[in-house]
Each structure stands twice: as C-alpha cells, then as structure tokens.
Amino acid sequence: MRKLPPLIELRAFEATARHMSFKQAASELGVTPTAISHQIRLLERYCGHPLFRRQPRPLMLTEVGARLFPGIRDGIESFATALAAVKRDGDRQPLRVTTTNAFASRWLVPRLPHWRERRGTVPLEVIGTDAVLNLHAGDADVAIRNAATLPSDGSARELFRDTFWPVCSSRLLSTGPPLKRAADLRRHVLIHWYWPPFVPNAPTWQRWLALARKKWRDVPEHNEIDHLSFREELHAIEAVIAGQGIGICSDVLVAHELATGELVKALNLGLPGYGFYLVHSVDHPRHKAIDAFGAWLQSVR
C-alpha cells in the first residue's frame, strides 16, 4: 500500500501558499503561526527541499514549492468536493426508522403526512419488525423501542408512556350484553394476543382479572369467560375494533379510536404499560435529523 503523505502538513502548506502568509493561514486553520511554521518545516523535511523563501520578505514559494502547490491545491479541492457530495447525498437518504409492527401501523404511519409537511427534505424509511435490530451494525439509523426500562444499546430518551385498558367497540356496548361491572364479563369475549415470556409484567387479561379481584367482588374466573386469541397484536386490535370482543389495549396504539369514540374503555381499571424510547448510536453522523425526528414524535401526540 502506498504511504500517505502528511495530510495536516499539506493543509498548512496549501493555506500558506494561497495566502502567502503564515499568520493568515494560521487564522484560517485555527492554530498559531508557530504551529503553521512547524508543520511547513516537517513537510520540507518530508520532501527534502525548502518550499518557501522566507527572507527577504515578502514570503515566496521556491521553485519546488511552486511546482507542488497546484497539485496540493487541486487535491484538497477534490477532497472537499467529494466530501460535500457524500454529505449532500447522505442528507437526502431516507432516515431508517425501526419499530414494532404494531406501533408502525397504528401510530407512526398515520402521522407520516405531518412529518412530510414539516420535514419534507428528510424522507423516512420505516422498518416494521418485532425483532430488535442492531443499530451499531447499521441495520437502522434510529429505533423507537417499547420497553420497561431505558434501552442500553445506544443513546436513548423517553418519548411517552402508555397504559393498557380494557377497551371495546362502542357498537358492542350499545347492541351487545350489558357491561357495567366486572361480573358482566361472563357474557362477553376476551381478546388476547401473545406476549413473549421475557416481557416483564405483561398486561394480560390474567393480570387484569387478578387486579380486579382486589377491587371488586364477583369477578369471574378465567374459565368462566369466552376467549379469542391471536399471535399478533395488530390482529387482536382489529378484532376489538370490529366488535368481536374486549381487549387489553395500549392507549397509545388505539389513541385515535378512543378520541373519536369508536373505542371506549369498558371498565375503569388499567394496567401500567411501558415507555416508548427513541434510540440511536451515540456518534451517529445524522444526529440533527434524529433530534428533529424525536422532537416531532413528541409534538404530534
């Protein structure tokens, strides 16, 4: 492999030759004139030739320096142009956002038109998956994680938290059996979905019924009620919206339906949920776009 020339010294030489002044070169590069003079001497030692005539004043390039300057100047300009193009293209690349399928579908996707209005120059690529992608490996730029505690795989901040409520379609309450107290659950269908065993304190119907027994009398046992189960949370929520039963749902994921009255809280007893966290690599080069995305997420609740 070819040995690289001393790049710091080349910058000092190019700035000095362009200004014909150690002082102005030092000001441009944010160092002292003494540092510029030292870097020039190191480059002269590397080349084996003096590059400037320092006496008598004014400062002038030697024949070798005059030959070297155009190549160094054009090379540095090429570096700057190439880096600017890469940065410009990088800013136009989509910001890759990974989050759960449920959050992507129920919360993020419906709000994307607002993001395009506010930050149309920063497109998004939404990666909906229940797998935890490796941010350090570059699988995504930023993650929205739903977790019990602050994620530890990058810089993380909490956006908001949810609570899980027993909710059902307003049509179910108006046309179906009465539902005024926990005992009335015997005449309804409880909708479930799968929670992985590693999720702490999963907001399931079993937990809700146990908590309800501490508050009310005549709470039915699990085997006294009809049940409908799904593997995916999204499918369970759709079943609840369709009036097929009552589900323990995140008030973040069904916020729109609760606001419009399409869904209602069936009973006034909720289970604590989890935090929604924005996570990214500490040294991610697009931190400004990520910060803007995080601020937007909190502004559109």
The rounded distance, in Å, linking the Cα atoms of 89 and 131 is 29
Write down the pLDDT at residue 79.
78
Residues with Cβ within 8 Å of 12's Cβ and at least 6 positions away in sequence, in order, are 25, 29, 35, 36, 39, 40, 43
Give residue-wise pLDDT tens across range 101-152.
999 999 999 999 999 888 767 899 999 999 999 998 889 999 999 999 999 9
Write down the pLDDT at residue 127.
96
pTM: 0.71
Write down the pLDDT at residue 198.
87
The rounded distance, in Å, linking the Cα atoms of 292 and 272 is 29
Write down the pLDDT at residue 86.
60
**In a 3-state reduction of DSSP, which class is residue 240?**
helix
Task: Count Cα neighbours of 290 within 13 Å in the Cβ-side half-sphere.
Answer: 23
Ranges of the chain with pLDDT below 70? 1-4, 81, 83-92, 120
Q: Decide if domain 95-160+276-299 falls under CATH 1.10.3720.10.
A: no
Q: Which residue has the tokens 């993380």?
A: 156
Write down the pLDDT at residue 218.
94
Write down the pLDDT at residue 91.
55
Same fold, 95-160+276-299 and 163-273: yes
Write down the pLDDT at residue 87.
61
Inter-residue contact 281 to 154 (CB < 8 Å): yes
CA angle at 159 for the pair 157 and 165, rounded to the nearest 5°: 130
Name the residue ranges covered by the structural domains of the chain: 7-92, 95-160+276-299, 163-273
> What's the burial of 265, exposed, middle or buried (CB within 10 Å: 0-12/13-18/19+)?
middle
Residues with Cβ within 8 Å of 184's Cβ and at least 6 positions away in sequence, in order, are 177, 178
Residue range 163-273 forms a domain whose CATH class is alpha beta
Name the CATH topology of 7-92: Arc Repressor Mutant, subunit A (1.10.10)
Nearest alpha-carbon partner for 168 in 254, 271, 232, 269: 254
The rounded distance, in Å, linking the Cα atoms of 290 and 167 is 34
Nearest alpha-carbon partner for 166 in 238, 273, 271, 272: 271
The rounded distance, in Å, linking the Cα atoms of 147 and 5 is 50
Write down the pLDDT at residue 122.
87
Write down the pLDDT at residue 268.
95
